[in-house]
Amino acid sequence: MYPFKRYVEIGRVALVNYGKDYGKLVVIVDVVDQNRALVDAPDMVRSQMNFKRLTLTDIKIDINRVPKKKTLIDPMEKACVKNKWENSSWGRKLIVQKRQASLNDFGRFKLMLAKIKKAGMVRQELAKLKKEIAA
């Protein structure tokens, strides 16, 4: 139908993809002009950011334009933004990426063994199913 599903609006949660706050989840609290938004997060000073530095997420919370910090934190807690993010497939992927990047050499070795084992089990099941179909 419409080509866009996620809109820039007050209360839209976005992921910062460039700069000092890389990887943080922020809430758009106001729009400055065509290119910039005022963003805020519980652990950050409210600041302006170019839209090019933001990637919009599916999460939106219900706030007025430029709320005070307390009035920002309460709806965020109620809507469980952090939970929704960590349970979404995008959020889970980022968490796994971070964990894999911090693995030490032994951890990477164990990961390789686990991947091989899992692939072996999948291949076994597949072979079983193929045999059933052939029979």
Distance CA 115, CA 112 (A): 5
To the nearest whole angstrom, how small is the minimum distance from the Cβ of residue 16 to other proteins? 20
Give the nearest distance from C-beta 52 to other proteins in angstroms: 25
Residues between 67 and 126 with contacts to other proteins, criterion CB under 8 A: 101-106, 109-110, 113
Closer CB to other proteins, 8 or 111, in the complex: 111
Number of residues that bind other proteins (CB under 8 A): 9
How far apart (Å, rounded) are the C-alpha atoms in residues 35 and 51? Answer: 6
Instruction: Compute the distance between CA of residue 86 and CA of residue 76 in angstroms, rounded to an integer.
Output: 14
Q: Does 23 participate in binding other proteins (rule CB under 8 A)? A: no
SS (H, E, C) 94-113: HHHHHHHHCCCHHHHHHHHH
Whichever of 32 and 103 has its CB closer to other proteins, that residue is 103
Min. distance of Cβ 120 from other proteins in angstroms?
15
Reported as type and span, the H/E element at residue 129 is helix 105-134
